[in-house]
Structure 1
Amino acid sequence: MSVSPELLKKLLRKQKEKTITEREMVLLQLYLSTSGAEAALDAIDFSDMPESDGQPGGSPEERYQRILQKTVFARERRFPWPGWAAVAAVLLIIGALFFFRDPAPAKLLTWRTGNGELKEIMLPDSSRIWLDARSVLSYPAASDSKERRIVLQEGQAFFDVTPDTRRPFIVENKQGIQTRVLGTSFAVRADSSIAHIYVAVKSGKVSVSWQDKEIARLLPGEQLSYDPSEPAAQLGRMDPAVIGEWTSGEVRLAQADFATMAAAMQRMYGIVITAANAGVSRNLYSLTIRYGKNPQKLVEVISAVNGNRCEWRNRDSTSVIIH
């Protein structure tokens, strides 16, 4: 199938703006899976699309994701169940891709964020991922007809999953703990150094399992902290409205204790903050920490909130004591 650069550009734009029809979505997915997609993307003139940042390099999928991430979002719109013609077209495409599938291992797309960086990712099925600072996430470049699998290697991510009863959405950490959903919104935090994982559900329902054994099923407002070395999962509740609140680009602290403030700064900027004495450790903090700001100035503000001062302990400004 020949790929028209003009049509491909138009479909990319409509996909981002949530105005694409189910049939056009089928065409877009088919185009991106063909051998001509690379040449088509090379031929597109992105001069009138500032979201391209003048960066022509990378694979078609990487360029596709870069364009989708930086185009302004329109109001979110859910698509109705496609008609039989569209379903038949999808099945034909899946069958063709399966028949001509390369036996080589599937290529993975990997996304990383640095200190104070927040990244939004749009998947081909319109599911959206917000990747928190200091996090690493990967998923297959080629679409799988049976499941949608994401590996959160490090850090934290928030997922808003497009419902698809035929293709469950699975998030797992490097130790194999899986969070399985069909369509919902939830947050997952993982640490690559241990098997521990944290899951909190904003809407819908998720199932968390390890070694094919279900640990818990979570509903909105429920959260799970789990480590296979522990005898039992730790379950709790929280206001669903605050789950994934950091995706707005801010972390709001309201009478947060010292440990909560220090954990937020370490997660966002890799800065280790310690209290010089018991009095400082009992401090409470009410302030907003914004992504992308100068972390040294943030620490100074945090210290001044309770009339304290900060003392940096090393040259790279990653360790500080509050007196």
Structure 2
Amino acid sequence: MTEEQAKELLQKYLDQQANPKEEKKVEEWYATLQAKDVLVSAEQKAAIGEQMLLELKAAMYQNTKHNKVLKLRTFYKIAAAVLVMVTLGLTVWKMSDLAKPAGDQLTAITGATERKRIILSDGSVVFLGPSAKLSYPKVFATNSRQVALREGEAFFDIAHQENRPFTVHTTTGVDIKVLGTSFKVKSYRASKQLEIAVVTGKVAVSNKKGKLATLVRNDSLTYDKNEGIAAIHRIKAPAFIKFAFDGASLNQVIAKLQYVYSIKIQLNDSALGNLKTTASFNSRQSPEEILDIICSLHHLKFNGSKNHKTFNIHR
């Protein structure tokens, strides 16, 4: 049930138009809220009280207008429904914040029709889909980068850092470890499966029992939560990303290309690694096409192996 549907049901309850089954549903929600001991500030309590009073006065006026007696049970039903509705509103309001600090941790949450772009402290970018929840540190540790996808779907475009691996933890116990790449993770609690799709680079997927698979560009993995079994497929309609270099050294460009395409690029002269490059590319382009452009910029040449996995740049 969506947030809008929930609100409609609560409004029906307030208007006394809900059927017995719907009434029971609302009352169960109210009981659940009481059991959870929802923490509300004094300011919010005052707002709830004021809203409840307005709703109750309106309800009493309606009943008086129609010469009906407002029974005690109806009074409590309306009060319960108002509290549920206002609490739901407060919950949604709290969840609408872009990031909520918890110590040195931040949590980003999206609504049912919302998407967000999160920039992490290392320059990595995360695109959150609707109904998603991501926890991440305000500043990453010196030797590792770890985030947790608590719910929903997210696309990760990870900044390459050789000595600081990036790990995405999920609630299913499946972890995705990378150095620099882009991939999508779909992990909903209500779904029986977790899905991972690699757009560029390479990722290692594991659970508590050990390594499940190594995925490369255009690989997709589905993980059965109940059986603990993973299956790998090729992506039928691969996604593409853009990546740009603004005065980056040739060594930096090579490092990025190696992770984007899971290839090996060698320089026959280490001095070439200091050459500066400014250019934009798209992962739709082949490694050969990009290397041809880069070599043209620096008046260099390159050759590749038959399997298109190893390349050598030279003068």
Q: TM-score, normalised by structure 2?
A: 0.42
Q: TM-score, normalised by structure 1?
A: 0.41
Higher strand proportion: 2
Higher relative contact order (CA 8 A, sep 6+): 1
